[in-house]
Amino acid sequence: MDSEVRVSSKSLTEFIHKLYAKAGMAPEEAEYHAKALVLSSLRGVDSHGVMRTNAYLTRIENGAINVHPQMKYEKARGAVWELNADSASGYTAGRIAMEKAIELAEQYSLGMVLVKNSNHFGAAAMYADMAVKRGMMGFATTNVKPGMTAPGASGNVVGNNPFAIGFPTYCDFPFMLDMALSVVAGGKLKMAIARGEKIPLTWATDKNGNPTDDPQAGFDGYFLPLGGFKGLGMAYAIDILCGVMSGGAFQNHIKNMFKDPTDPSRTCHMFMALDLTKLIGKEEIRSRMTEYRDYVRNIPTLSGTPLVMPGEPEENCRKERMDKGIPLPESLAQEFQQLSRTYGVPLEI
């Protein structure tokens, strides 16, 4: 197993910010991207955290991510709008689209924005959380290139399409469910590769459709859907909503972000905000969500450890990593040190 080193969130944020600015991204956008990547790592979502720094950097430098996009709304019908992202970073397009969804929800109670011609948007939770911070339910989802097989098949049929849904609780942490529809996200296999770890046989198959404990063989092969055909059906639905219905890319029309750094992914997203203040007051939300949480926590478990709500492990991890630093596999730390030398951007480890 690869050893790990701890690096402060402040050091990583400054490092990534300066890297992306040197690559041509506007300083404020570079800072936003750095904070977003570091936040994912702080929350323990390492598969969508700082490990993706170099992949995005390569795509920025080679033009797959357009750092000067001419984004425009092509459709605006009441509470439903559609944004053409012009190959912008999915982080930028996602932020702009969710801001618009929140604005629409303030006017119509519910707002929805579809996005086409975008790129990978990172962890879906950060967009849902934008709405949650405004007292709204937030929902975010995206399609991605086909990377998930059907049970019994030996080929990719649909993307491992994730979604996040969040609710304000006005307690210690919001309810935040962020999940992909394969057994695990591809980034978890990338982390297993970096750490030199094996994976469970239930995560993925090799190119021949055989279960594998080799993360590289699984990453090059096919991810297995969560819940078999149930997860597969949900992935189809997200691809249809985001890609087919937006007039954007779907299935194999979406590009692989790890292959050609000059080729935009053409990813499509959907963001939705529901203004809960039209339904229920803040104090009533706090009271009812506390009751809901306590009921879950009081259910007996075999281990004696209380059950947790979605969002609770991530908040606990964030606090721990803010204090002790973000753990990086030695191979990733070495990659960052090489980037530091290449770009002349210091990194304090």
Q: What is the mean pLDDT of residues 97-123?
A: 99
pLDDT score recorded for residue 106: 98
- Residue 116, strand partner residues: 84
Structural contact between residues 121 and 265, judged by C-beta atoms closer than 8 angstroms: no
Write the pLDDT tens digit of every residue in 317-336: 999 999 999 999 999 999 99
Per the prediction, the chain carries an average pLDDT of 96
At residue 2 the predicted structure's pLDDT band, cuts being 50, 70 and 90, is low
Q: What is the mean pLDDT of residues 35-48?
A: 97
Write the pLDDT tens digit of every residue in 335-349: 999 999 999 999 988
DSSP states of 174-221: -EEEEE-SBSS-HHHHHHHHHHT----TTSEE-TTS-B-S-HHHHHHS
Structural domains of the chain, with CATH: 4-280+327-343 (3.30.1370.60)
The pairing of beta strand 110-118 with beta strand 326-329? unpaired
Closest alpha carbon to 210 in 157, 160, 152? 152
Write the pLDDT tens digit of every residue in 155-166: 899 999 999 999
